[in-house]
Structure 1
Amino acid sequence: MDNSNICHGMPCWSELAAKDWTQAKQFYHAFFGWKMDDMPLPVGAYTMLSLQGTAIGALYPAEDDPCTPMLGWSTYFAVDDIHASLQAVQASGGVVRLGPHQVGSAGFMAQVADPEGAVFCLWQAKDHSGAVQGGGCHHLSWVELACKDADSCQHFYQQVLGWQCRTLMVNRQLYRAFSVSGKPVAGMLQMTSDWGDMPSHWMLYFQVADCDDSAAKATSLGATVCVSPTEIAKIGRFSVINDPQGATFSIVALDDKRLAQQ
Structure 2
Amino acid sequence: MSRPFVPGVGAVFSADIAVPQHAREVRFYSRVLSTGEHPLWREDDLMNNLGMPIIGLGARSADYAHLPLQWMPHIQVADVASSVQRALDLGGSVLMHAKGDDGQSQWAVLLDPNAAAFGIIPVVPAEAIASGAGAAVPGAAAPVGRIAWLDLTVPDAAATQDFYRRVVECSVQRVDMEDGGARYAEYNLLGEAGNPAAGVCQARGANVGLPPVWMIYLPVGDLADSLRRVQEE
Please, what TM-score do these two structures have when normalized by structure 1? 0.66
Paired position in structure 2 for 1:26: 27
Paired position in structure 2 for 1:116: 114
Higher percent of residues as strand: 1
Paired position in structure 2 for 1:167: 174
Per-residue deviation, 1:49:
2.7
2:204 is the counterpart of 1:216: no
What is the letter of the counterpart of residue 94 of structure 2? V
Greater shift after overlay, 58-67 or 142-151? 58-67
Any idea what the Cα deviations from partners look like across 1:130-160, whole Å, max 9, x if unmatched? 8989972563111111111111111111111
Could you tell me which of 199, 203, 223 is aligned with 1:191?
Answer: 203
Any idea what the Cα deviations from partners look like across 1:156-178, whole Å, max 9, x if unmatched? 11111122222334685743122
Helix, strand or coil for the counterpart of 2:10? coil
Structure 1 residues 101, 13: closer, same or farther in 2, change over 3 A? Answer: farther
Helix, strand or coil for the counterpart of 2:54? strand
Could you tell me which of 124, 147, 150 is aligned with 1:140?
Answer: 147
Question: What count of residue pairs does the alignment treat as equivalent?
Answer: 206
Structure 1 residues 122, 205: closer, same or farther in 2, change over 3 A? Answer: same
Q: Distance in 1 between matches of 2:119 and 2:73?
A: 6
Per-residue deviation, 1:129:
6.0
RMSD: 3.4
Any idea what the Cα deviations from partners look like across 1:102-148, whole Å, max 9, x if unmatched? 59xxx822111112221111112578968989972563111111111
Per-residue deviation, 1:16:
2.4
Q: Matches of residues 90-105 of structure 1 in structure 2 within 5 Å?
A: 90-102=88-100
Greater shift after overlay, 129-138 or 77-86? 129-138
| Identity of matched residues, % | 23
The unaligned stretches of length 5 or more in structure 2 are: 35-40, 137-142
CA contact (8 A) 1:15 1:75 kept: yes
Q: Matches of residues 43-62 of structure 1 in structure 2 within 5 Å?
A: 49-62=47-60
Q: Distance in 2 between matches of 1:165 and 1:70?
A: 27
Structure 1 residues 168, 119: closer, same or farther in 2, change over 3 A? Answer: same
The unaligned stretches of length 5 or more in structure 1 are: 38-46, 223-262
CA contact (8 A) 2:73 2:119 kept: yes
Q: Distance in 1 between matches of 2:135 and 2:203?
A: 25
Q: Distance in 2 between matches of 1:214 and 1:207?
A: 10
Structure 1 residues 133, 203: closer, same or farther in 2, change over 3 A? Answer: farther
Helix, strand or coil for the counterpart of 2:53? strand
What is the letter of the counterpart of residue 25 of structure 1? V
Could you tell me which of 65, 78, 88 is aligned with 1:67?
Answer: 65
Structure 1 residues 79, 134: closer, same or farther in 2, change over 3 A? Answer: farther
Paired position in structure 1 for 2:194: 182
Q: Distance in 1 between matches of 2:203 and 2:129?
A: 30
RCO comparison, higher one (Cα < 8 Å, 6+): 2
